[in-house]
Amino acid sequence: MADLGTAFISLPQSIREWLIDENTALFVDEINNKLGFNDFSDSRSEIVPHLILRLCVQNLEPRNFINELSHELNISFDSAKILTQEIEEKILKPIEAPLKIDVGVDLKLLYFANPTLRPSGFAEAELPTPIIETPPPQNLTSNIHTSNKKLK
């Protein structure tokens, strides 16, 4: 998709109006506060509205939404899934029908995601690869003689 601004303008009016509505802004602000992004100068406060816009203009596949949310916010897949449910309820449900009919975005596909690994370069706690040490081979002959000795 060319540019998100142009894509936004091409959305049906009902969707555009809802996305810029004061109630929608309040919902996004509420979500950002829960995430600890209390200051508008914090660039992370733009993550949720940006992903919602990308979803609405088909710049982000619905089934990739949870993973993108997880990666962008650096939260677990399960936390991103819970957050997605809140976003769907408060922001996307009111425009679900026009999104599906006029734009082709099916919100039911939001939950068909599987967790994906973060792209390289993301700082996430990674477990080291375990090193499994195997004991050196034993001399079988000495084991046989040792096991045949009688205990006193």
The pLDDT tens digits of the residues spanning 72-97 come to 999 999 999 999 999 999 999 999 99
What's the pLDDT at 42?
Answer: 81
User: Which one-letter DSSP state was computed for residue 64?
Assistant: G
Asked if 69 contacts 51 with a C-beta cutoff of 8 angstroms, the reply is: yes
Provide the mean pLDDT of the chain: 82
Model-level pTM?
0.74
User: How crowded is residue 78: how many other Cβ atoms within 10 Å of its Cβ?
Assistant: 11
Asked if 54 contacts 103 with a C-beta cutoff of 8 angstroms, the reply is: no
Q: For residues 2-10, give the mean pLDDT.
A: 88
Four-CA torsion 85, 89, 91, 95, nearest 10 degrees: 120
